[in-house]
Every structure is written in C-alpha cells, then in structure tokens.
Amino acid sequence: MDRRLPAKTPVLGVWTKDGQSRAYPVTHEGATDGIIRDSVGGAEIVIRIDRKSNSIAVVEADPSLQWMNSFWFAWYAMRPKTELFADE
C-alpha cells in the first residue's frame, strides 16, 4: 500500500515503453480549466479532469504512451515505482 492518496482515488495511469510511469489523480487541484499538460519520458500528454463527474481522460497523447483508468491502490500494486503527478 502507498498512502500518498486514499486507496480508492480514481487515477489515470500513464506509462512508457521503457517502464516510466506516472499517475494523475482526479483530485488534482492545479489543473487550469481542468487541463493538465505534461510529459512522461519525453512524450507529451494532455489530460482533462472533470471534478463534477469525478472523471479524468486523455485528450491528446504521443503515440508512444499508453494509459488506463484505475483506482490508486490497483495502479500502485501494478507499478509500485510510479511517480505521482503534482505541481512543481
């Protein structure tokens, strides 16, 4: 278990072919107009968060990225070395 987030927090998990991974929690507060622009392993991704519907989705992504929606506990169980997205 990882206690950085509550276990059943919805996250969007993103990973690269070389194994880098990052989780984006639906509870993230810093998204401008619900949009997050980021890069994972040098590959660009644009994500939309809708707090009203408690949903998170990919709007645009480099073709080298893969992603899935999950709960934090399940994502962390699959990828324990994942980074958790946070504003810098």
- The 10s digit of each residue's pLDDT in 57-72 is 999 999 999 999 999 9
In Å, what is the CA distance from 56 to each residue of 18, 41, 46, 61, 79?
24, 20, 11, 14, 19
- In this model, does residue 31 exceed pLDDT 90? no
pLDDT band at 52 (very low <50, low <70, confident <90, very high): confident
pTM of the predicted structure, to 2 decimals: 0.90
In the three-class reduction of DSSP (H, G, I as helix; E, B as strand; rest coil), residue 13 is classed as strand
